[in-house]
Amino acid sequence: MKGILMKSVNSTLFIIFIITAIFSTLSAQTDERKLAETLMFGKPFFKQNTEFEWEYYDALAEKNNSIEKLENKELSLTYQNIIGKEMVFEYDLFTVEIIITTDSTLSWKDSKSKKINNEKTKTIHIDNKTILKSWVEVDNTLVVMFADFYQGDTHAFLYNSDGKIEIANGSIKLKD
């Protein structure tokens, strides 16, 4: 009887030891994973008591692996480099050719109408590569354009005279 009791106690202790070892290993891996994710991405992907944030992970992967972002970096221009040069601003809503002549003037041509428009503008220099430029067109559309000439990114906010607001995102290229 004493031998059977001793075997069952030993078996129970062995099982408890194995379970403890497994859980402590998993716990250590989780802590190491959180640390690694925090160092790599600024915050851990997995948060306790919440589901895994797949959208966050997908967005990071898309952002970090975007070939388009890598290609756009090839523009590598500053504001001073683009003065007087013809550029193509390809937005998701429209495409325009723009020549920035000074901080207070630019000319643009819509790819459809081919009519050249000269605008008086206001320019805010964010740094030597990025600007915020605004103007009011003949039809009273207020245009506010962000342009990053190093990355080749552009965003425009159009407030039409009828109150309609349009937001356009796109890229900048030098015209061939």
Inter-residue contact 167 to 82 (CB < 8 Å)? no
Residue that terminates a domain, selected from 42, 65, 88? 65
Kindly state whether residues 81 and 161 are assigned to the same domain: yes
Kindly state whether residues 134 and 167 are assigned to the same domain: yes
Kindly state whether residues 138 and 107 are assigned to the same domain: yes
| Average pLDDT score over residue span 81-99 | 93
pTM comes to: 0.58
Kindly state whether residues 7 and 58 are assigned to the same domain: yes
Alpha carbon distances (Å) from 17 to 4, 5, 21, 27:
20, 18, 6, 15
Q: Compute CA 34 distance to the chain's CA centroid, rounded to the nearest angstrom.
A: 23
Q: How many structural domains does the chain have?
A: 2
Higher pLDDT, 30 or 97: 97
For residue 132, the enclosing domain spans 74-174
Amino acid at 36: A
Kindly state whether residues 101 and 56 are assigned to the same domain: no
- Please report the pLDDT score of residue 130 as a whole number: 93
| Average pLDDT score over residue span 133-153 | 93
Bridge-based pairing of strands 142-148 and 153-159 is antiparallel
Question: Which two three-digit tokens encode residue 146?
Answer: 């962000």
Task: Tell me the sheet residues that pair with 134.
Answer: 122, 144
Kindly state whether residues 162 and 92 are assigned to the same domain: yes
* DSSP 8-state class, residue 113: T
Task: Tell me the sheet residues that pair with 174.
Answer: 87
Kindly state whether residues 81 and 158 are assigned to the same domain: yes
Higher pLDDT, 54 or 83: 83
Kindly state whether residues 78 and 61 are assigned to the same domain: no
